[in-house]
């Protein structure tokens, strides 16, 4: 059953077949920091069963590439950071790398790009001088093999290399990186390659100390007076993702580069974290972020600066990686666990023709373990009042009265509201005291909505989809440095909202 709701969700990832390689599409990253890595054939079986048509590998593992052969899946292979020294110092080494890891597999493996390193400028600045030579040597090898028209070369950057990033129109790249970035952007321009950017609204939100609203990070709808406004362009921003992408466009324009597209090579939201230090790393927030992200990208919404211009995007990541170091959330960014079981159910109702059916009609909204009883009581009161949930079954003598405690009663009310609102993204939130589960909380004669999607609401509810709070702090993600962006964004965002 769990695979059922992901089958249709991830059918959306096949959108490139509809939109084309250069249009809107969603892909996934495949990391392997796991105590038990699935066999390459298991991975490709999962990809094909879920119609995932774009993947990014963090290396060029020959067994993985062999398993991807003749699947039609479009693949970005990567040069690991530790190989940059050799490739950046030798044209011959680069040619050998392309011969072994690209030419030997193409076209059976539909390799579309080579990602040279990962966040080198922010995590390994001592390697920065080798980045452009490595990219040029690899490009020479592609040209020699007559593969340059099929395969692009770029390098993924942390968004932290963009300074003064809000308002986006004032953004510019860290000037200390000009010696690398200027020739790199000219290279991307001349080869028709994208600027690869890793965008993590989760960290921007966590480090903003409540200045960036959670709804703004999660793509939740905002009233006009809460949108962030770029005072220079009067463009309105309703989410962090678009603001960061546009900051990259403006930063490139500052260097007189205006025709290099942005590809988001990593983005996502963790579905689990430490309850005290990472309270917003939850399944519901991961569901909300990724569901809204997919709709946003696949609808070719573009950004305020470039409306209608596709932003190809790769979700981080396919599997949870249980051996990643760092905070608890580092291990829980996956759409699936190591056994291929969905980590949570995504909600894509209303996403258009690419997903016509609701695939999540067997999930439930329950009170979060350890939630503050006072917050639970407040949320229960709201659900049974403004939320228009019929809570009569919670009265003494009625089927759902027992157990007579706030957690059990809140679970019933949360679930009824969630299903009454069509299980839409963000409708199981209640200021963070509710979570989605696939375990039926029904007991005895107290039957919860879920299997048939029915709900007990007093008429049509026009209540908001969530009652969000802001705040929290979190640990740094090990893959790169994204810390410098949040402070600038949060301060400027606060100023822009206050000016409205």
> Residue 421 in contact with residue 395, Cβ under 8 Å?
no
Catalytically active residues are 119, 266
- Nearest alpha carbon to residue 98 among 81, 85, 111, 82: 111
């Amino acid at each position: 059953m769990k695979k059922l709701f992901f089958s249709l969700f991830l059918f959306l990832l096949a959108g490139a077949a509809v939109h084309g390689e250069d249009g809107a599409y969603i892909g996934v990253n495949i990391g392997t920091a796991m105590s038990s890595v699935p066999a390459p054939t298991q991975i490709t079986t999962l990809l094909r069963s879920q119609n995932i048509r774009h993947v990014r590998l963090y290396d060029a593992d020959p067994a993985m590439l062999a398993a991807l052969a003749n699947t039609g899946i479009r693949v970005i292979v990567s040069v690991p950071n530790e190989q940059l020294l050799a490739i950046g110092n030798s044209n011959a080494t680069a040619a050998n790398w392309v011969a072994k890891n690209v030419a030997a597999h193409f076209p059976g493996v539909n390799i579309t790009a080579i990602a040279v390193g990962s966040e080198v400028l922010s995590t390994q600045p001592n390697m920065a001088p080798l980045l452009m030579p490595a990219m040029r040597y690899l490009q020479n090898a592609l040209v020699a093999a007559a593969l340059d028209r099929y395969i692009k070369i770029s390098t993924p950057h942390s968004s932290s290399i963009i300074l003064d990033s809000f308002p986006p129109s004032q953004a510019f790249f860290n000037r200390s990186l000009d010696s690398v970035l200027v020739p790199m952007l000219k290279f991307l321009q001349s080869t028709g390659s994208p600027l690869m950017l890793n965008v993590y609204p989760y960290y921007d939100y966590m480090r903003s100390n409540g200045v960036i609203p959670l709804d703004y990070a999660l793509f939740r709808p905002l009233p006009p007076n809460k949108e962030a406004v770029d005072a220079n362009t009067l463009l309105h921003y309703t989410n962090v993702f678009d603001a960061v992408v546009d900051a990259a466009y403006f930063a490139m324009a500052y260097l007189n580069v205006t025709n290099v597209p942005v590809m988001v090579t990593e983005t996502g939201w963790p579905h689990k974290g430490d309850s005290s230090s990472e309270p917003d790393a939850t399944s519901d927030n991961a569901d909300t972020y990724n569901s809204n992200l997919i709709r946003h990208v696949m609808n070719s919404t573009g950004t305020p600066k470039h409306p209608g211009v596709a932003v190809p995007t790769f979700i981080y990541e396919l599997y949870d990686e249980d051996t990643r170091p760092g905070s608890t959330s580092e291990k829980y960014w996956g759409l699936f666990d190591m056994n291929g079981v969905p980590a949570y159910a995504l909600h894509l109702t209303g996403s258009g023709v690419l997903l016509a059916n609701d695939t999540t009609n067997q999930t439930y909204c329950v009170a979060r373990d350890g939630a503050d009883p006072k917050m639970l009581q407040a949320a229960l009161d709201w659900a049974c009042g403004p939320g228009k949930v019929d809570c009569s079954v919670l009265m003494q003598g009625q089927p759902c009265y027992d157990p007579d405690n706030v957690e059990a009663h809140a679970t019933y009310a949360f679930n009824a509201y969630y299903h009454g609102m069509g299980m839409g993204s963000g409708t199981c939130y209640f200021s963070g005291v509710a979570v989605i589960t696939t375990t039926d909380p029904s007991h005895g004669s107290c039957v919860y909505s879920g299997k048939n999607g029915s709900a007990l609401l007093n008429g049509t509810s026009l209540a908001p989809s969530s009652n969000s709070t802001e705040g929290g702090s979190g640990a740094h993600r090990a893959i790169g440095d994204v810390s410098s962006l949040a402070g600038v964004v949060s301060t400027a965002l606060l100023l822009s909202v206050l000016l409205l």
